[in-house]
Structure formats: C-alpha cells, structure tokens
Structure 1
C-alpha cells in the first residue's frame, strides 16, 4: 500500500521486469529534457510555417512540382547544394517512440534548418544572405530571427554561387541604397528586359535581408510609378522594406521613366501611337502628362546643347571658306494655305549639312503667306552674324524672296533650283498633252525634261547660251537639227540621225496643236527671264531629301506645339548632318564581295527598271551621347527649366469654358 500511495520515507526500487506506471506520483522538479524542449519548439515552428503556406498563393501552387522533397533534404555536408544556389538546407523530422526515447536523427551541417515538407520554390540564380544559427542552441520559436547580424557574415554564410551575381552587395540597409549605388555605374551598358509580373513575383518570395518567406498578401504594390514596379514587402520574420524594379533617380520616379521619355522623342515616335502599343500588350508605361513633363525638363535641354555644338562646328568650318553657297527652302507644317508653322532651312552646298533653321508661327506675322520670307531673313541674318561670307543663295521662285534678294542683298547671286523650275514646265506640258489634239506630245515630256537639265549644266554660266540651248528643243522635236539666226548655238549636239537610228517616238508636225503648245510653254516670258538665275545649276536636291526625312520627326498630319516643332527640327537636322555624304555600301561576302550595292526597282514614271546606289547604314552614335546628357542633367543643380513659348492664334482672350460649351450646344445643327 505504501508503494502505491507513494508514502514518505519509502525508497522505491525498480524491478528488472518493471514497466512505466500510469499513476502520477509527485511532480518532478527537474526541467524537461533538451530534446523534448527542442521538439516542442520545432512543432510550434512547423505549425506557424504550415499556416503561412496554407494561404492562397498561385505561385506556390504552380511551382510546387518543380522541386521534389528529396532535393530539399541535405544528408551530408558534401551534398548540401540546392537547385537555387541558396545556402539554406532542411532537416528531416526525428523518429519518435512512445517510451519517450529518441532515435538518432539525420541532421544537416547547414546553418538554417527548414521542415522537410516545405516545398516553396526558391528563385534560381539569385543569392540570399542567411543567418547561421545552431539548432542545438536555445532559440525562442516565437521570435525566430533570421536577419543577418554584424558578426554572422562569415565565409559559411555567403551565397554558394558567388559568381552568379557579381553586382549583389551584402549588408545594405535597403534596396534603394543598393540601386542608387548601382546606378552610378555605366548606365547605358545595362540591358533592359521585358519581365512579366508573375515571373517577377517569383523572385520576391523570399526576403532579401533574412531569406524568410513572403506571402502574396504581404506584397503591397505602390501606384503611379509609371514603368517602375515598386512594392513594399513584409516577410514572416517581420522584415519590412521597399523594392523597386528600376534604379532610383531623383525627380523621375525611376530611371526607366526618363529613358522612355527620351527614347520616344529621339526616335520620332508619336506618344499616342506608343501609348496604344502599350495598351495592346498591357505594358505598364508613363502617361502623357509625365512624358511631357520629363521631355520639357530634361530632354529638350539636352537636344539644345547637342544642336548648339553641331551648329557651332558647321559654322566654324564655313568661316574658313571665301565663297559660301547656300540653298534654302521653306516647309509648312500642313498642306494648303492654312499652315500654323513654317520652318525655313539653309543647307551648305559644299558640306551638304544643315547650317541653320527658323521656325516661324503664324501668330508672329500677318498671314501664313509671309512666314517663309520671315524665316528666310532670320536664318540668313544668324548665319552672317557668325562671320560666314555668303556669296550665292539658291532657292525656289518665291516672289517675296526674289524681291528681298534684289533689294536687300544685291551683292549676292540669287540662283533658282532647277528642279523646281523643270517641275513647273513638266506640269504644264502634262496638262496640255491630255488634250486630244495634242496627241504625241506626252511621249516627249521625259526627253524635254532631260534637255532642260542638260542645257543648265552645259551653259558654262552664260545666260544667253542657256536660253538658246533650251529654245532649240522646239526644232529637235520636228526632226530639224540645225537652224540659223542664233548667236552661240546653231545645231543639235548629238550625232547625225539616219533612218536606221530613228527613235520610236513620232516626230511632231511643225505647226500642229501639240507643237504650238510646246512652243508656247518653252518661250514663256517668265520662264526665259528665270533662266538667268539657273546659270550655275545649283539644285536643292539634298534639301528636298532632308525635308522627306523631316516627316519622320514631324509628320504633317499631326499637330505639334511650338517647342516640339523647334526641338524636333533640331533632331532632324542632327540626323541629317551625322549621316550626310555616306559612302556606297559594298558586298562583304558571297560571289559579289567587294562590289558596290545597288537596289533594282521599277519606275512608274519612266516605265523601266532603275538601279539606285545603296548607302552604308546610318549611324546614331550622337543619340547615345544625348541619352547620357539627359541622365546627367537629373543631378545638375543649376538646371533651370524655361517657360514654354505659346503661340495662340486667337486674337482675343478666351471666354469661360462653361460659356463656350453652352454656345456650342445651343448653335449646333446636330443637336436633336
């Protein structure tokens, strides 16, 4: 009885065949075993991690089959390499028996231990700093801390694959400081990729500070960041920090936003088209207001500085020339007589580079018809103020410019562009040739145009020779190849034409309707007077090519503001000057190696195949310099943003918005 009741003073002895009793005796004063305490803490940790992993997460469910359980268990120090190259190992559960004894468990030598049933995917090719803790020490499972300490960064705590990410920096307090230090490197050499949101969040499943798990609902995305993806992350270990997908850049909400604004403008892409492109593929980008702000603040000044250097270099090279020949032409922003802007450009004939241009708004002059003459005056004055000696200017037959050259610049020789003159002659002949009685004249138009160019090129600077050669075409088309009465030119320059070498075109009958229409066009008084300005045959073909390329940056069907007109014109001039006088490309391999390249195409005008030389590809190295200038302008404290120049055509102040809308609704004929 004393044995059963556990009376005091009785010394109990354990029999050899005794079994553990179920009756409680006095409470043991000895603390629990260390192994039991560890099992309880381990069980509590398993419950916490299980509750965390049981939360809804599409990423974990999709990737749970990628890494099997056996790959997450490390059995020896020699095999402690995981798929993700992360220095995190797991420990298997110890085997338990009812007699409160423990078998030998398989433990890992790795520092951080995780349950074997954790199948959360670790981002591959990314290193996480972890804390080395011994599971045999006293650890409070309620406040498990995996954040790195100052003395914990030993060689064993470094990422297993140190060469996988050489730019990764340990010991930073926040991701922003890491991004700012990384942005000081060569930014233009950094590549930019298109990453989907689901793939990006896989890399954010573990804390960058301690390596613990981050639940989906603990990722809070910040809005209004443009193309930048910014999230606030909170891990299971209560580490809270902000992560950004782009290097930090002051005043821009991310470096990528500024790069987008500069690249769109430099490429000549209209923002509406780019915005539609982003919407079609659900690509996050900046809005139009942000684009306009960044463009005005950082992009426009960079374009101005680049164009100022280019223009200064062109003017310096022209100052050494004794006689400078310029060709100029104006371009309106829209077809017809309702243009708002006119850009007048001067091009150096010798270097084939743009010297200067002026953008004139209709609000600066009395009407749109006087914009071109004002741009001509301002651009010519700017060139002469820089010490350039202009002796000859070639333009079209604009009446106001003709008068300006005759009155204000009589010392300069004024030339007309032969292309503009012969274009007018061709149009007149084509209109006459449509008449039935002038049948046969249309076949002679290409030959007449070629004769005009030949006359201008071979006149030797003599206006009389040019006129006589040009008028001789009225005799040639009637099969008459010599004539008396002229002073310089008496017969055709070609060889004698016999019956076997007659052309396929029919000769015109003298005095016929077609021949009389040709004589009237060739001997037009204004045309013969204009031939005096064609003796040097200075054509503006390069300027017309420049205006064609100009449409890339400023299409006529789109309205732009004054600032955009000016700076886009600078871009067009930079594009032309940096790619002027390109050499003809040659074949680099194949049977035709070393031979020049030609493009064979069918000409609808000449009704035959034509071979056009192919130039070497364009170079855009200057744009890289401008991009670097834009990036450096962000940190420039002396940068001053100038006010935009507004050119409103309305002659009076605008009424209140509500009043204008009410009037539109009242007087609209479409209101029912």
Structure 2
C-alpha cells in the first residue's frame, strides 16, 4: 500500500518541453510529501532501472552501474522532524520572504536548465496501469482546488523515487540532495544531478504566505475537526510526522482560517434571516452556555434558535470583562443577540427561555409585546429536584414512587391547556387530589375531574395512594401550590421547549470543551463552526437498514437513559453532511492565493 501511495504522486514530464534558456523545473503532479501531501496526477511505477541505458550518454550509463551498488544516503534529508520554534512575527516575516512560487505554471513547463540540453527527448517514465491519462487530467488541478487524495509517504520509500533526475534521467548523487529546513509539513529539496541539472523540488504546491498548501490545509483541518493543537502535536510526535509548529498554526489560523469561517457563517445567517423576514410570527428559543460551571465563568455564549426550522439564528459571545460580573453575562448576551435579530426586520412573536430572573424582567419591561414562554423541561427539572429532596426525608418515602407520574402530569397539563393559563393551573393542581385516589372535586372554573377513564377495583388496590394529611401528601401540596411555580405556569401555555437547543449545547463541546481555556477569537469562531455543524445536520432523516431481513426498515439503537434510569430505543439518523467544510477548504485556498479575503 505504501508503494502504491508513493507511486500515485509522481509524474515527470517528458523532455520534449526542454528549453535551454531556463533553469526552472515544472513537475506536473510532483506532490510527494513526508507527511500530508497533495494528490495530483498520473502515477509512476518506480523500479531500480527507471530508464533505458541505451538512450543515455556514456556517462549516464556508467552512473547506472555505480548507482545500483551504492546505498543511498541523504545528507540532511528527513533528519529534522522538530517543530518550528519561531515566534509569530518571525514566522510571518519568513513567509513573506519566501512567498514566491517555486513551481512554474503549466504554461512555463518548457523552461528548464541549460544543462539539460543534452537529455534524450524520448526519455519517458512508464505509467502506472492503475491510472489512465484521463485520470491524470481529472486529478490535475490548480493550487486553489482541494487535493483529491493525500497520502502518508515514508522516507525510505521516498528515497527510491529520488535517485534519478526528473529532467534528464541522470543519476542524482546523494551528496547533492539538500533539504531546506523549517518548511512545516512540506519537504523542500535542492537537487543536482550528474548532468548538473539544478532545481528545487517541493512535496506540496506552493501557496503565497504559507510555504506549501499542506501547511494551510493542516491548520484548517485541525480547527474544523475540533482537535486541540497540543493533541495534534502529540499525534505527530508519536508518528515522527513532520508538521507545523504552534506559532505557524496560530498565524495561519488568524490570517486565513478565521476569515473563511466568518464568511461561511455570514452567508448561512443571511439566508436564515431572509427566510425569517417572510414569516409574521417567528418563535425563538434562547439559552446561555458558560465555558465553566459555577460563578467563575469567563465567557458566556447566548444562542437563539428558530423553533420552526430548528436552526441557530444568531449567537453572542460575552466576556466577563464586558460586564460587572459573571452573573450579568447571560443578560447581555440575550439583549445583544435579540437586538441583532430585530435589526434584520424579523418579526418575533414568542421567545422561550429558562427562568432566568434578569431575562424575565427584561422581557416584562422592555419587550411586553412579545410572549415570553418558559421551557417546560426547565420547570419540570426544578419540580423534580424538589420532589426528590422531599422523598428522601423520613415519613415521605411514599412520595418517591409518584415523582415520575407527577412530572408527566406537568407536561400533559402544559400540552393540553389550549393556551389558557387558568386551565393549566387547574389541571396541574388536580394532581394533589388524584394522588389520594380522589378523581373529582368542586370549586374549579374549568377542570372538575380527572381526564382518565374510571379505575377498576384491581387498579385502585395496586396503587400506592397517599393518605390525605400525611407528611408525604403535605410535602406534595407544598411543592404543587408554590406561589412562584404557579406564577411561572402562566409562561407554559404554548409549551415551547428548548430541547433542540440543549442538544446543540451538547454538540458544542466538540469544538469548545469546557475543560480547555480559549481566547475570545477562538470562542467566537468555534461557536460559528458549532452553529454551522448544527444547521447543516439538524434535520437529518432516520437511517434505514441496507441489507438483511430488515432491509428498508428504520434503524434504532438501544441506549441507557440517565434521566429515566432505563434502556430505551432511540432512532439512528443518517450520516452527517460535512460538504460545507469542503466549500470552506476551497475558499481557504482561493483566498490564500489572492492574499486576503473580502
């Protein structure tokens, strides 16, 4: 496999394009690299005798005999695999000084060294049977397109390909191979053959300001994949893989990758805003996510999600330095994100959030025209915590068996209240009667009896009913009739939950884990990557079996539910679509070739 990988990346043009007036080499498709390489054109099978001795001069023929008995030893080639330790400013200066294209374009392929004038015009390397000429033409691309394939090439296999001159086929003396250091993942060699053909060979296409396309693609791939660079460095060190330094990574990330991410997110957001403008009653759900638990967070990211499309509309990253303390970050993120959405002429009718007191006041004072809903999951979570705490007390053990039923009753009350807050409260309070085996009662305006069918005697005997006036029942009544809870029920009439937003925050950890500290720029652009990932994959269809007896049937997986303490069947979605990352890669190479991004 390694031999095939090596062969798939070398194509040497025929000397028919030799121009005695130039000393520059064009190697169409020569993209072999010690680490990450650019897949290009037609492959070449390499053997100890790459040329016919009869087509060479006497000097070349004698060199073949000498070369077959001499073990190739490189001077300095592939020895230095350490990372560059220069500062960002030094690396940037070196990039500008070495930004010239060391490869000629196809139009200049005829320009070669004057010493190559004696080469045979019929010297042609044999093509690999695995790739045809049409494949060669389809894989040959400019530096602004994404490499079709990339291979890992070992040093010993690379030596076998560089024992002959790519121009004239003459032997290359091992002492005349010199490696140019500090090129990151790129291998750059200055080569001189027995016929004095001198040229520079690079394992990657040159890209202005990056010292090789692979360096830029490595930087983008690490960030797009949510990999911390220190882990990537350890990976390269374990593999002895030549790679870029951290300073180079930081420089390329700031100069090229961040603008591409922002451009892609701006395009995504503009399309969403255009869609929302055409709707008259937009319903949003919002929630804040801090980078660490407790009251010591440095960043808070507040996100708004459209409940109809389930896509992230906008978010704001707030630093603790922008507010008085960490408790004020969520309110500022809420206000800034809502203002940005309204500035795009989006008509917002309803906003669903958690029960954050500052946001409740903000909506009541400054946005009274909008309906403010609470996420039922957050309300149910608070009730569940109180019930569990009471159920652990002495004399209230019987309450523990009713906790799940009480929470389900709260969800049912919110879903069936038909927008009537009074009906919602009456349905919720009815649980204190049902739990004592009392299923009808007077005094309410709308709801006078339980909605379930009459219970038979066997069912009534099997239930662990609470005794009215017992400690367990009094604890339940205290929780159900809590004034703040009854007041908050008025914000559950539309039952707008933020479950998708909670799932998004879980996926958010892929790009910005809480246990790792990041700068503000990384927090901002990492949030953009998370939002793009979510928006392109939130509405995936359920996967189906492709073979076997259940072919065509929807797929499920059995997983443990921490909430319900049981195994449950969950649907399996189709694979995620990351085609937008390929577009960002193309945009990245294009922008790097232009020097900047508009």
Structure 2 length as normaliser, TM-score?
A: 0.80
Provide closer, same or farther for how the CA distance between residues 82 and 247 of structure 1 changes in structure 2, counting only shifts above 3 A: closer
Which one has a bigger Cα radius of gyration?
1
Instruction: Find the aligned partners of 1:259 and 1:399 in 2 and give their Cα distance.
Output: 46
Q: 1:86 aligns with which of 45, 50, 74?
A: 50
SS of the residue corresponding to residue 559 of structure 2 reads strand
Judge conservation of contact 2:116–2:195 (CA < 8 Å) in 1. Answer: no
1:470 aligned to 2:428? yes
Q: CA deviation at 1:509?
A: 1.7
1:371 aligned to 2:329? yes
SS of the residue corresponding to residue 436 of structure 1 reads coil
Aligned residue runs from structure 1 range 639-658, under 5 A: 639=597
Judge conservation of contact 2:282–2:346 (CA < 8 Å) in 1. Answer: yes
Judge conservation of contact 2:184–2:242 (CA < 8 Å) in 1. Answer: yes
> Which deviates further from its counterpart, 203-212 or 243-252?
203-212
Aligned length: 509
Aligned residue runs from structure 1 range 401-416, under 5 A: 401-416=359-374
SS of the residue corresponding to residue 379 of structure 1 reads helix
Q: CA deviation at 1:504?
A: 5.2
Provide closer, same or farther for how the CA distance between residues 605 and 340 of structure 1 changes in structure 2, counting only shifts above 3 A: closer
Provide closer, same or farther for how the CA distance between residues 559 and 160 of structure 1 changes in structure 2, counting only shifts above 3 A: closer
Judge conservation of contact 1:221–1:230 (CA < 8 Å) in 2. Answer: yes
Instruction: Find the aligned partners of 1:284 and 1:422 in 2 and give their Cα distance.
Output: 53
> Which deviates further from its counterpart, 422-431 or 211-220?
211-220
Q: RMSD across aligned C-alpha pairs, in angstroms? A: 2.8
1:515 aligned to 2:515? no
1:294 aligned to 2:273? no
1:589 aligned to 2:540? no
Instruction: Find the aligned partners of 1:82 and 1:226 in 2 and give their Cα distance.
Output: 27
> Which deviates further from its counterpart, 229-238 or 563-572?
229-238
Judge conservation of contact 2:185–2:215 (CA < 8 Å) in 1. Answer: yes
Provide closer, same or farther for how the CA distance between residues 240 and 164 of structure 1 changes in structure 2, counting only shifts above 3 A: farther
SS of the residue corresponding to residue 398 of structure 2 reads coil
In the alignment, what sits opposite 1:120?
68
In the alignment, what sits opposite 1:315?
273
1:240 aligned to 2:198? yes
1:263 aligned to 2:207? no
Q: CA deviation at 1:187?
A: 3.4
Instruction: Find the aligned partners of 1:82 and 1:423 in 2 and give their Cα distance.
Output: 67
Judge conservation of contact 1:481–1:492 (CA < 8 Å) in 2. Answer: yes
Judge conservation of contact 2:298–2:320 (CA < 8 Å) in 1. Answer: yes
Q: 1:395 aligns with which of 353, 368, 381?
A: 353
Q: 2:575 aligns with which of 601, 610, 617?
A: 617
Instruction: Find the aligned partners of 1:398 and 1:605 in 2 and give their Cα distance.
Output: 23
Q: 1:158 aligns with which of 119, 124, 149?
A: 124
Q: CA deviation at 1:537?
A: 0.3
Larger RCO of the pair (alpha carbons < 8 Å, separation 6+): 2
Instruction: Find the aligned partners of 2:596 and 2:287 in 1 and give their Cα distance.
Output: 38
Judge conservation of contact 2:208–2:595 (CA < 8 Å) in 1. Answer: no
Provide closer, same or farther for how the CA distance between residues 166 and 599 of structure 1 changes in structure 2, counting only shifts above 3 A: closer
Judge conservation of contact 1:122–1:205 (CA < 8 Å) in 2. Answer: no
In the alignment, what sits opposite 2:26?
none
Instruction: Find the aligned partners of 1:389 and 1:301 in 2 and give their Cα distance.
Output: 30
In the alignment, what sits opposite 2:117?
149
1:558 aligned to 2:516? yes
Judge conservation of contact 2:559–2:567 (CA < 8 Å) in 1. Answer: yes
Provide closer, same or farther for how the CA distance between residues 639 and 619 of structure 1 changes in structure 2, counting only shifts above 3 A: closer
Instruction: Find the aligned partners of 1:82 and 1:632 in 2 and give their Cα distance.
Output: 34
Aligned residue runs from structure 1 range 38-437, under 5 A: 86-89=50-53, 113-114=61-62, 117-118=65-66, 120=68, 148-149=116-117, 154=121, 156-161=122-127, 184=142, 187-437=145-395
Instruction: Find the aligned partners of 2:489 and 2:455 in 1 and give their Cα distance.
Output: 29
In the alignment, what sits opposite 1:173?
none
Q: CA deviation at 1:159?
A: 3.3
Q: CA deviation at 1:236?
A: 2.9
Structure 1: gaps (5+ residues) = 1-80, 92-107, 124-144, 169-180, 641-672
In the alignment, what sits opposite 2:41?
none
Structure 1 length as normaliser, TM-score?
A: 0.71
Provide closer, same or farther for how the CA distance between residues 581 and 223 of structure 1 changes in structure 2, counting only shifts above 3 A: same
In the alignment, what sits opposite 2:452?
494
Q: CA deviation at 1:514?
A: 1.2
Instruction: Find the aligned partners of 2:511 and 2:342 in 1 and give their Cα distance.
Output: 28
Provide closer, same or farther for how the CA distance between residues 617 and 121 of structure 1 changes in structure 2, counting only shifts above 3 A: farther
